[in-house]
Amino acid sequence: MIRVVLADDHKLVRMGLRVLIDREDDMTVTGEAPDGQAALELLRRDRPDILLLDLRMPGMDGLETLRKITPDPDLGQTQVIVVTTFEIDQYVFEALQAGAAGFILKDTAPDELVRAIRVVARGEALLSPSVTHRVVSMFKRQVAPTAAPVGGLDELTERERQMVAWVTTGYSNEEIAKELVVSPATVRTHVSRAMVKLHARSRAQLVVFAMRAGLTLDR
């Protein structure tokens, strides 16, 4: 059972999400929060698998909430999906840097929202190739060359560096495996080891770290 917490300041939005999620056999909403502080309390109490997090909330907003979740070892098992009204903006980009597993739009079709929760619960990134390319473009425009270096980069093997570069294309493990003529399990192993060495909370954050380190692959 995938356990989900909802954080949004609009009660009607939370109600709609709860109805949608609770009707699925493999997931359930364990709690709702109208702001970031309440969301953190729920995460510590319920230890859910997924947090659907609105970025724009009064008091502690979504971005500040995410920045408190990421470094907290007690909250490491919860993956965060940012819910936003904008496809790509500065808040979304900063959320990915802070460790969000991906994002969905508030007008996303119900079946796509459910699919997104399952994707992230499996440990995959909720970033399509087209969205990843736009994130890369935004990164190149807005991040200074003097940005802090990525820790653990020297520990990567050449194969792990290659896999990290492929992750920045937005391809799934299966798609990368097909391109490199290897098994998906091989790709998954190298990507997982790279995430551990780079201390990436999610596959989406690994994309950001790869861009900061210059490990990109133009497709």
Q: What pTM did the predictor assign?
A: 0.75
With a CB cutoff of 8 Å and minimum separation 6, the contacts of 44 are: 74, 75
219 residues of the chain, pLDDT tens digit each: 999 999 999 999 999 999 999 999 999 999 999 999 999 999 999 999 999 999 888 889 899 999 999 888 888 789 999 888 766 667 777 887 788 888 888 888 888 889 889 988 987 766 655 566 666 666 656 654 445 567 888 899 999 999 999 988 878 888 899 999 999 999 999 999 999 999 887 787 888 888 888 887 765
Which residue, among 105, 101, 64, 113, has the nearest Cα to 87 in the 3D structure? 105
Task: Evaluate whether 191 touches 163 at the Cβ level (below 8 Å).
Answer: yes
